[in-house]
């Protein structure tokens, strides 16, 4: 058994509570916390922005990747996609699919989470037929056989839970129906269209295990289920069905927006919401040291209110070990309460284990991103 050393103390000039009513001479709050946003934490109040660096040397730095510029991701074979970020428990890839898949695939290494960034189509899988569109999360349990038919070209962010599974977060005092009601989760249907795609032609299934692909050939379409019952299946959730937790008096941490949980990482979703209205409340993300987790953000749509010059399809990577937070202009706008509503949609991945940057991401990196915090407020 272990227990954190915990006996709350106060030194010097500090606010009475986190993220609100900052001292006039120290408006820059920095949270240093453990275990993501669930462990012990201290909130410092600084005279200067904790991100006000003038120079940065070495590999540990905030990074920005323009995934719109990725090459070699237009393929029917998801297992050949280059890895953007990876560790032993998580693999991140991006996929563009222009034509319907002519082969089936199966991942024996772990669950897959597909986030549809653009396009429209249909997923055919062991469990039936499921229409998909932009903004959909699709959870595919390990060793499910599936393929996609394309109505309009699909762009997909793939997050593999290696040797793991996706589950829902514990919602605690707000109850099971908060954030999104499980009733909005869609499942595949054994319908006429699914039965109609069954045939006696030869089909091949590309199975990935330990990162290696084997091909199984059938003299018939193995997606030939006539029915099923149980509580394990593919599920779909669209971000438009997420109703975020909000507080007009307190800026909630990213953990309040958790959508899916694996053993060594979480996936959160930021969706449009009102900005805090209380005069003393912080109105932008707080500066923080999330020293136990690497943080990844994929920008899907809108104007991400804590960042400058970030477009849809880009990805930021903030590895554990340094303070990060809003850009200077965003912080100033928050102080002045210029915006009353956020309009961004973004997928956040927080991993307990350090991520390695793949060559594909390095080739589309903006190396000047680390300097974007240098800008002076007007």
pLDDT per residue as tens digits for the range 195-220: 999 999 999 999 999 999 999 999 99
pTM assigned to the model: 0.92
Cα distance between residue 125 and residue 146, in whole Å: 4
Average pLDDT over all residues of the chain = 92
Mention every residue, 6+ apart, whose C-beta is less than 8 A from residue 360. Answer: 70, 71, 72, 73, 82, 83, 84
202, 216 in Cβ contact below 8 A?
Answer: no
The structural domains of the chain, ordered by start, are 28-65+243-373 (2.60.120.10), 73-239 (2.60.120.10)
Instruction: Please report the pLDDT score of residue 334 as a whole number.
Output: 78
| 284 confidence band (pLDDT: 50, 70, 90) | confident
- The number of beta carbons lying within 10 Å of the beta carbon of residue 191 is 10
Nearest to 256 by CA among 141, 350, 329: 350
Residue given tokens 């210029």 in the structure block: 338
CA within 13 Å, CB half, 217: 3
Mode of pairing for the β-strands spanning 28-33 and 273-274: unpaired
Residue given tokens 């707000």 in the structure block: 174
Mode of pairing for the β-strands spanning 110-125 and 28-33: unpaired
Higher local confidence (pLDDT), 340 or 198: 198
Instruction: Please report the pLDDT score of residue 378 as a whole number.
Output: 41
The neighbouring-strand residues paired with 243 are 179
Average pLDDT over residues 131-136: 98
Mode of pairing for the β-strands spanning 287-290 and 28-33: parallel
What one-character DSSP code corresponds to residue 359? H
Instruction: Please report the pLDDT score of residue 236 as a whole number.
Output: 98
Task: Write the pLDDT tens digit of every residue in 39-85.
Answer: 788 888 888 888 888 899 999 999 999 999 999 999 999 999 999 99
Cα distance between residue 268 and residue 293, in whole Å: 13
Q: Is 226 helix (H, G, I), strand (E, B) or coil?
A: coil
């Amino acid at each position: 058994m272990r227990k954190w050393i915990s006996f709350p103390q106060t030194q010097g000039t500090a606010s009475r509570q986190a993220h609100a009513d900052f001292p006039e001479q120290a408006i820059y709050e920095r949270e240093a916390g453990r275990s993501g946003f669930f462990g012990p934490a201290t909130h410092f109040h600084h005279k200067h922005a904790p991100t006000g660096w003038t120079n940065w040397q070495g590999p540990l730095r905030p990074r920005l990747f323009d995934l719109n510029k990725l090459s070699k991701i237009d393929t029917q074979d998801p297992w050949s996609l280059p890895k953007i970020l990876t560790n032993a428990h998580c693999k991140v890839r991006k996929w563009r699919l222009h034509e319907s898949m002519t082969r089936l695939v199966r991942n024996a290494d772990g669950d897959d989470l597909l986030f549809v960034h653009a396009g429209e189509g249909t997923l055919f899988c062991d469990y039936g037929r499921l229409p998909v569109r932009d903004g959909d999360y699709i959870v595919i349990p390990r060793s499910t056989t599936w393929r996609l038919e394309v109505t309009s070209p699909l762009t997909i962010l793939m997050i593999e839970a290696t040797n793991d599974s996706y589950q829902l977060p514990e919602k605690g005092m707000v109850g099971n129906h908060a954030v999104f009601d499980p009733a909005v989760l869609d499942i595949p249907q054994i319908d006429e269209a699914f039965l109609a795609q069954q045939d006696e032609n030869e089909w091949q299934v590309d199975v990935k295990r330990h990162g290696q692909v084997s091909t199984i050939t059938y003299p018939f379409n193995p997606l030939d289920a006539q029915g099923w019952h149980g509580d394990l299946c593919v599920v779909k959730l669209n971000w438009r069905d997420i109703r975020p937790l909000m507080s007009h008096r307190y800026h909630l941490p990213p953990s309040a927006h958790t959508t899916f949980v694996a053993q060594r990482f979480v996936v959160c979703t930021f969706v449009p919401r009102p900005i805090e209205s209380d005069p003393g409340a912080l109105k932008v993300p707080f500066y923080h040291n999330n020293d136990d987790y690497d943080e990844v953000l994929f920008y899907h749509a809108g104007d991400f209110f804590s960042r400058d010059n970030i477009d849809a399809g880009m990805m930021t990577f903030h590895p554990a070990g340094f303070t990060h937070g809003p850009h200077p202009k965003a912080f100033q706008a928050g102080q002045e309460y210029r915006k009353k509503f956020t309009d961004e949609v973004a997928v956040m991945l927080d991993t307990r284990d350090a991520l390695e940057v793949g060559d594909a991401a390095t080739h589309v990196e903006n190396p000047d991103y680390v300097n974007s915090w240098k800008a002076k407020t007007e």
